[in-house]
Structure 1
Amino acid sequence: MTDYKYPLHPYHKITDLKDMLEQAAGKHPDNVAFLTKPVKGEPYVPVSYRQYNADVEAVGTMLLELGFSPDSRLAIVAETRYEWYVSYLAGMNGEATMVPIDKELHSEELLSLFNRSYCDGIIYSPQFAESIESVASQVPTLKHLILMNDPSFATGKIEEDDSDTAYDGPSEIKRTDGKAVPVTLFNDLLRDGRKLLAEGDQRFRQVEVDAEEVRVLLFTSGTTDKSKCVMHSHKTICANIMEMGQLLFIGLNNDDVVLSVLPLNHTYE
């Protein structure tokens, strides 16, 4: 193997993912972090680092309000969409351990991973509501279901008096032991989190991240055998970000766009 001989891009140091986002929002608040398409056929809507950080803080604050603690596991099952990015860092930068799950799995496979990871909560999109809600009753550790119900918040246009009358799904799922698991709408989570922050709630902002703690449970594809669970920390993910950043960002500038193609449950994506 020959040594790498090309110049490396000077990539700034990050200690954890919370530090990464706070640095980005502080240094480049108005730069575009994401181009989202909330409505099919409509133009892309830019989301700045300032807004992304604010949305993560709002949802993260509400996850703490709902009781997601250092012992909690929170799964995400959804297609690539802005709420996925918000949910992931809201949990990671708070106190939950995240469990990103392959959206292509069948119901019985989803159930197996929910139970193997001892999930306390599941964040999911309408596309997978039927399969997830059909097995949720069989997850004895489950306490919360959070449905990504409406992409309009990505435009920053959610108002205080918005109602979610379009949602006609269940308000709760009964577990097999008889306990009710509430279904919370993502927009409500975001709106209520914004209110708590406006009232001075600092819980999420004051969380001190231990970069070496296990904070992600990642299941392999299980192509040749039963899927394995790989444990990741802020430190392992940040090490990859900094190392790859030295290679990928050579010659890139603020006007360049990076296309995300892989499913978001892939670690580096």
Structure 2
Amino acid sequence: MDTIDRLVQHSCRQLGAKAALREKLGGIWRELSYESLEDQAARIGAGLCEQGFQPGRQAAVLASPSSLWVAAYLGILKAGGVVVPIDKELKTTEIRHILSDCQARILFTEPQFLESVQEIAPSLPSLETVVLLRAGRARSAVVATAPAPGEDLEALSQSLSELAARYGFTERDRDNLSGMIQRLRAQIAPAFPIGKKTEEGKKSLRQRFARGEAHDSMPVVALGDFLGDPENLPPSPRCAADTAMILYTSGTTGRSKGAMLSHGNVISNIQAARDIFNLGAEMRTLSFLPINHVYELVCGILLPLSVGGTISFAESLKQLAANLAEVKPSFLLGVPAVFQRLHDRIRKSIDDKPLARLLFRFGPTRTLVTSKVRQSLGDGTIFVSGGAALDPAVADGLARLGVDVYQGYGITETSPIVAAERPGCKKLGTVGMPLPGVQVRIHEANGEGVGEIWVKGPNVMQGYFNNPRASAEVLTDGWYHTGDLGSIDEQGILSIRGRVKNLIVTPNGKNVYPEEVENELIKSPFIAEAMVYGHKVTASAEEVHALIVPDQERLDDHVRQNGLPPLNMSDVEALIRAEVVSACRQLADFKRVKKFTLREEELPKTTTRKIKRFAVEAEIPAASSAPTTVK
């Protein structure tokens, strides 16, 4: 099992009818078994091969998280292809850049993205075919054929589920509807196997394209017409050293680059994570993070599938709390903002109940409250935070509530995990020890032991696609230069301090890490966002300045609750100045903000919600108002 698709295939063949993936449609959780996932992926892989798709070629996926997304991903790998996941939140220009740069031949997408794709298609000479994953009753633009019976059943099932939810059907009625659909599926399947095409549909898409039957010069085909016969799927010639996917970085410092991850890179990370958390087939996860990002894709999708677990896709972030209560996952990936909200929600629930508040106040009775908290979330659940630094105060607060959160550190270029806390090895404010087999060293550490984090191991990327210059800049003898600043203590535990490019050097030669200052500022209820940066005062020294976005809603609440007149700009500046002074009391003198500028608009961010510092810094010299001095 040296490739990702073979690793997942092993689970599929071992577990058969067990639920692999779950989605909630029309108020009802619907399951896709391991054997059905394998069948879907094999048919997609066969469809690719039947159209002349060659091993080593690129195929992209631009769609919402779903079972079909996962099947398309695995199908591309089965055909020997390289998967290019694309963030559905990107702008059209960014999608064009990725599809052009990676030279994708096939794009799997959904109807809502089709207009954007057709708009940029003329500038994408490599793109040959667009496959619609959720075409419903839409006909392929290649050829008009009747919708497949399987598609009719799916549409009928979804409609009935929506009606059941809308009119409050009982559980028994829902079961009867589900049974009816199953009986219909059983009756139709012998005559029309799922994925079976009409005689016209069996014709090579390439032949039909040659006859000029494509629409608007871009062949668009429904998934039902694209699927092939698994019997025609040859064994993939790919091995561990071959590229499995190209993941484009979110571009906090400019145009995104495609990190090439091999099958071996990803599998090494999966196996290490599996071992340190002792994960097995009992694993249940709730997936709500972007599936195209390496953190969720590897740790939230491929990891549970590799051990035979079950993945449930959350309906939305708004429904996350309800879905958590329904699924009760045994393993949950999240980002700091989610754990902050979880902490605040639990504390509010306790504070709103006099008895719970009283019991929680005293150590001997606190467990009566924390046991209820664990029960509501899933007793024994492993919570893992990644993507950004988790505030130690939030981690400590959750631990007091009976919720242990393990923090990890990783990046796209390292597949992604570099280090992680684990059972028996947790230290507040750190990201734990490096994974087994992964080496970490601090390059050119200063007097505080802080320097750039370099990583070497089986998880380090092969390089950036079609960009040898950028690859050479970050890879030295197998060591990847992360661009992050950190330190390692005597126990071998890693701490993250900030970014090399963001480091501020004061006139006294002191180092200030902007992220540390920002974390203090945003604790203020009146500060929605803050970006700390170095303002040049000499050729080699900087002063600590900040851009601050006030929280207008909190300001309005403040005015209303205190019976104040509407605030003008001077009032807001005075209030924020007081908040900055208060926040900076927690910091050494040289780290304190000297001046700040207020900004009304939200700071520009990547799709992973990281501030695009390069874009903000370009605007700073043109700021309309002079910075406010902090005294």
Q: TM-score, normalised by structure 2?
A: 0.35
What is the rounded CA distance, in whole Å, between the counterparts of 2:121 and 2:278 in structure 1? 42
CA contact (8 A) 1:145 1:181 kept: yes
- Give the deviation of 1:104 after TM superposition: 0.6
- Tell me the matched-pair count: 232
CA contact (8 A) 1:106 1:131 kept: no
- Give the deviation of 1:63 after TM superposition: 0.7
CA contact (8 A) 1:78 1:84 kept: yes
What is the rounded CA distance, in whole Å, between the counterparts of 1:245 and 1:67 in structure 2? 37
State the partner residue of 1:30: 17
State the partner residue of 2:70: 85
State the partner residue of 2:285: 258
Indicate the RMSD between aligned Cα atoms, in angstroms: 2.5
Q: How does 1:122-137 map to 2 (within 5 A)?
A: 122-137=107-122
What is the rounded CA distance, in whole Å, between the counterparts of 2:69 and 2:263 in structure 1? 18
1:259 is paired with a residue whose SS is: strand
The C-alpha deviation readout for 1:21-62, integer Å capped at 9, x for no partner, is: 22102221121100123xx42411111111111111111001
Q: Identify which of structures 1 and 2 has the higher relative contact order when contacts are C-alpha pairs closer than 8 Å and 6+ apart.
A: 1
The C-alpha deviation readout for 1:213-252, integer Å capped at 9, x for no partner, is: 11211100012211111001111111111111123444x6
What is the rounded CA distance, in whole Å, between the counterparts of 2:237 and 2:99 in structure 1? 27
Query: Relative to total residues, which structure has the larger helix share, 1 or 2?
Result: 2
- Give the deviation of 1:253 after TM superposition: 5.3
CA contact (8 A) 1:77 1:103 kept: yes
Correspondent of 2:60 among 59, 75, 78: 75
Change (3 A) 1:253 1:53: closer
Correspondent of 2:218 among 181, 204, 207: 181
CA contact (8 A) 2:87 2:290 kept: yes
State the partner residue of 1:115: 100
Correspondent of 1:219 among 248, 251, 261: 248
CA contact (8 A) 2:23 2:29 kept: yes
Q: Which has the larger radius of gyration?
A: 2
Change (3 A) 1:253 1:211: closer
The C-alpha deviation readout for 1:107-161, integer Å capped at 9, x for no partner, is: 1111111111112111111222221222122201111111111373999958638
Change (3 A) 1:229 1:56: same
Change (3 A) 1:30 1:79: same
- Give the deviation of 1:173 after TM superposition: 4.5
Letter of the structure 1 residue corresponding to residue 20 of structure 2: A
The C-alpha deviation readout for 1:55-81, integer Å capped at 9, x for no partner, is: 111110011111211242111111111
CA contact (8 A) 2:80 2:237 kept: no
| Structure 2 segments unaligned to the other structure (5+ residues) | 137-150, 158-180, 199-212, 298-631
Q: TM-score, normalised by structure 1?
A: 0.78
What is the rounded CA distance, in whole Å, between the counterparts of 1:216 and 1:202 in structure 2? 20
Letter of the structure 1 residue corresponding to residue 286 of structure 2: L
Correspondent of 1:236 among 265, 269, 279: 265
- Give the deviation of 1:97 after TM superposition: 1.3
In the TM superposition, structure 1's runs of 4+ consecutive aligned residues that sit over 4 Å from their partners are 153-159
Residue 92 of structure 2 corresponds to residue 63 of structure 1: no
Deviates more, 1:70-79 or 1:235-244: 70-79
CA contact (8 A) 2:57 2:104 kept: yes
